[in-house]
Chains A and B, each alone.
Chain A
Amino acid sequence: MTEELTFEKSHPSAPPPRLPEAGVEAAPRLPANLLRKRPPALPRLSEPEVMRHYSRLASLNYSISENFYPLGSCTMKYNPVANEQAARLPGFAELHPYQDPETIQGALELMWRLERALCEIAGVDRITLQPAAGAHGEWTALRMIQAYHLARGEERSEVIVPDAAHGTNPASAALCGFRVVEVKSAPDGRVDVGDLEAKLSNRVAALMLTNPNTLGLFERQILEVSEMVHATGAKLYYDGANLNALMGICRPGDMGFDAVHMNLHKTFTTPHGGGGPGSGPVGVKADLVPFLPRPTVERENGRFFLDSERPQSIGRVRSFYGNFGMLVRAFTYIQAMGGDGLTQASKDAVLAANYVRKRLEGVLDLPHEGPCMHEFVASARNLAPQGIKALDLAKGLLERGFYAPTVYFPLIVPEAVMVEPTETESKATLDAFAEAVKEIVELARTDPDELRAEPRSLPVGRLDEVRAARNPVLRWRPDGESD
């Protein structure tokens, strides 16, 4: 089942929406050279047609509201509906960013309190709420670290990134003008301390790490790593993609991390929206505080204000004060959960991952020893004799009503299958998922061709992505107009 595009459904007979008339004496026309010659070819559809179109598109989507999303590294947990209502309260949604700060005391208080709560969770001194997403937060943190070194008269040109890191880590470092140096993972899946030792020097500005790492393993030697890094004058950066494992258990700041980004759209339940908007606050220790983006939210005599007088600030990383609507949602979640709830959430996330991992023992390869933290990485290489790949397993899961785990990441595990169940899936769901994987592995043995033909019952079958990239069609064009 596929759906025509709005442009294909468009028909000239659709009445335009009724809008007010200007009701004033006509102003002089603008000079002709400033005006548009041909109106944009927007579709013409009536409101009922618009609503039906998008309802049909919605029905073609899989979502966490419907079923399990075991995407490793993405923390697809339940998005509380109360968050949505809170963000839509007119007292939050209908605020202009340039209102007098005296008229937005409630909003500033919310930001101030959210910052304090995130400081407690991450073990840092101050936080900027400005970054719009995780990668934006990474880059913001690296900009601060860059400014810190420059302020000390040091030009450090390298950033060390593990071979298992998220792709955004090296991309963010490169965007800051750093040369990216890769550090290897040891056979147990953790950073190879010997290799790290060899790569550290006074050219290194920072080491970027996530802990638990992308294999879902806790970097046991983190305190040693932290000491090594700091001994060279470099900073330690925490990629917060995996923070859901640690709330109330331990804190990045206590491990020695100097800058920590958090994904409010992962750990703090703001929805993913089909790819955003998210929010990526960055927390820092005291010696990076002067470099925080401006403005910061401050409190004095019970009043809240925006402080732009920060001479060493790196400036702004986006307009206004961040994705405020997402901050409201995350704050609502933290209020509802409380410290005890967040701690239990992380413990349940770790339990669920270990449980699913156990259920898949002997079904898929498990290249690293457990226990894992909130996620684990399996490998589908045991299906290679049948010519079956991680991708086939992923499509088989789609056919059975589950979303697919993250596949082919991290890059250091062949045929990687990365599973993160989160704390909001019941035991029955986890069991059903493990059964589905077993069924697919069985099918791989008995009828691999059938498995390669899946999915069969979704709106479309496997799409030819290679051809799509070779001859990209990135927009609709009216008949007769070439791309």
Chain B
Amino acid sequence: MPYLVHSEEDRREMLAELGARSAEELLADVPGQLRVRGLELSPGLSELETMSNLRRLAARNRTYEDRFWFRGGGVYKRFIPTAVDAVISKPEFYTAYTPYQPEASQGTLQAIFEYQTLIAELTGLDVANASLYDGATAVAEAAMMAVVHTGRPEVAVHPYLHPEYLEVLRCYGQGRGFEVRQGLEQVGERTAAVVFQQPTFLGVLEDPQALTAHAHHHGALAVACVDPISLALLAPPGEYGADVAVGEGQQLGLAPSLGGPHLGFIACRQDLTRRLPGRLVGEAYDAAGRRGFVLTLTAREQHIRRAKATSNICTNHSLCALAASVYLTYMGPEGLRQVAEVSYQRAHALAERLSQLPGVELALPDQPFLNEFPVRMFHVEQSLKRLEAAGILGGLPIARWYPEMEDVVLFCCTEVNDLDAIDRLVEVLGQA
């Protein structure tokens, strides 16, 4: 049987050492009426057959050439340097456990320390944790920090926070007992946090300084949900005074993979450090004065504080954080800026070209955007079908979340969409 190591002889010897006649004797505590005789699953397969089955299933999914992805909405196609997968494929990283024994885990610990620094630099804040599950749960964790910190029972959310993030936040709020209000008109003394996304789900840029000031005016925390690549160009949350920054790190070297596993990140001001959820790595020294790294400030966490922990998170997304670190280190400040800049320029060229097509117009022409933007068009469904037939993953129709935007499609452009692909997209859409 695959992956098992004992021969029948080994099993007999081990049982003999135990003075047991059969393996059944070891299961004597399981009441007879609960015993099942095996599982009704298909019999095991050779690796050859297993992989052949998996390949067949994979082949029943449609994939698109990278350059023909014009769909975002929270998951993006970006160039991933080969170095990223080469590093996260090292078994020393991917088969290690949580670094509870620091002397034997310095590789993971140092990588997390570097990751925390990278995220803090990117967001312009003081401290970042070791990772969370995804952007949506990162928003929820930040909201819970604010509820505890302020002792207030409501969280106000910008109308165009990613709709799935909003749904997750509501689910946490219903459990934890705080109210989630969509819209910023009723921010007041009951508001623990104002949560906004920059760029918004619709891709456009808000004035984050004004939103932050609005939160602070009412004594609430400002929680900014940010696109990490955008921070090469855009003002980071620390610069405009946000208290907590969160976001989805998929764009930092992770495959789309139908939505996961990706990476939630969270960073905050120094004085909120002890309210952070999850793991933190800090510097430490041994008796010989050598620098190392350890999990620290664990008195916030579930294995120490149990019911009083800041969060229940235990397993996080460490390997995804490693991928993000490799990505950011490979790119460096100039590389990251170039990625953001090329995406910005090409998206604006695409927006210009699309808006010249008959029956197509920018949905929010007066608002600045980065590399994703909403377009109003006739015959959304047929247009996307035509693109599909041409091997193009077109923009994202958003009517399922915003019924009033029935004819709006969210297009996105990154460095992978070359000029030929943009030409082709415009050409197919223009064939109406």
Contacts and interface: CB of A to CB of B under 8 A. Distances in A.
A395 interface: yes
Nearest to A64: B95
B307 A180 contact: yes
Interface in A71-124: 71, 74, 76-80, 82, 84-100, 103-107, 109-110, 117, 120-121
A314 B169 CA distance: 11
Contacts of A176: 175-176
Interface stretch (B13-21, B213-221, B354-362): B13-21
Given A273-B319, A319-B165, A90 B259 contact: no
B58 A106 contact: yes
A425 interface: yes
A170 to B, nearest CB: 4
A65 B5 contact: no
A41 B121 contact: yes
Contact of B96 (A134, A272, A319, A348): A272
B341 A22 contact: yes
A424 interface: yes
A317 B306 contact: no
Contact of A335 (B27, B50, B74, B108): B50
Contact of B329 (A3, A31, A42, A278): A42
B284 to A, nearest CB: 4
Contact of A84 (B89, B317, B326): B89
Contact of B174 (A28, A63, A314): A314
A326 B428 CA distance: 36
A276 B239 contact: no
A423 B334 contact: no
A59 B107 contact: yes
Nearest to A116: B41
Contacts of B432: none
A20 B6 contact: no
B404 interface: no
B57 A351 contact: no
B42 A324 contact: no
B315 A135 contact: yes
A322 B2 contact: no
Interface stretch (A191-199, A441-449, A455-463): A455-463
B393 to A, nearest CB: 6
A273 to B, nearest CB: 3
B61 A92 contact: yes
Interface in B269-317: 273, 279-288, 290-294, 296-299, 301-309, 311-317
Contacts of B281: 474
Contacts of A50: 83, 326, 329-330
A99 B176 contact: no
Contacts of A89: 54-55, 58
B60 A109 contact: yes
A429 to B, nearest CB: 9
Contact of A350 (B26, B39, B370): B26
A176 to B, nearest CB: 4
Contact of A472 (B61, B279, B280, B306): B280
Contacts of A338: 41-45
B322 interface: yes
A202 to B, nearest CB: 21
Given A97-B75, A177-B176, A461-B288, A274 B134 contact: no
Interface string A340-370: 1111110110111011001100000000000
Interface in B355-377: 368, 370
15 contacts: A2-B290, A19-B335, A24-B346, A42-B122, A76-B97, A96-B69, A97-B75, A171-B309, A177-B176, A276-B315, A319-B165, A351-B26, A371-B20, A427-B13, A463-B293
Given A30-B234, A316-B136, A469-B282, 5 more contacts: A272-B97, A274-B98, A315-B167, A348-B6, A351-B15
6 A-B pairs closest in CB distance: A320-B259, A91-B58, A338-B44, A106-B60, A273-B319, A97-B259
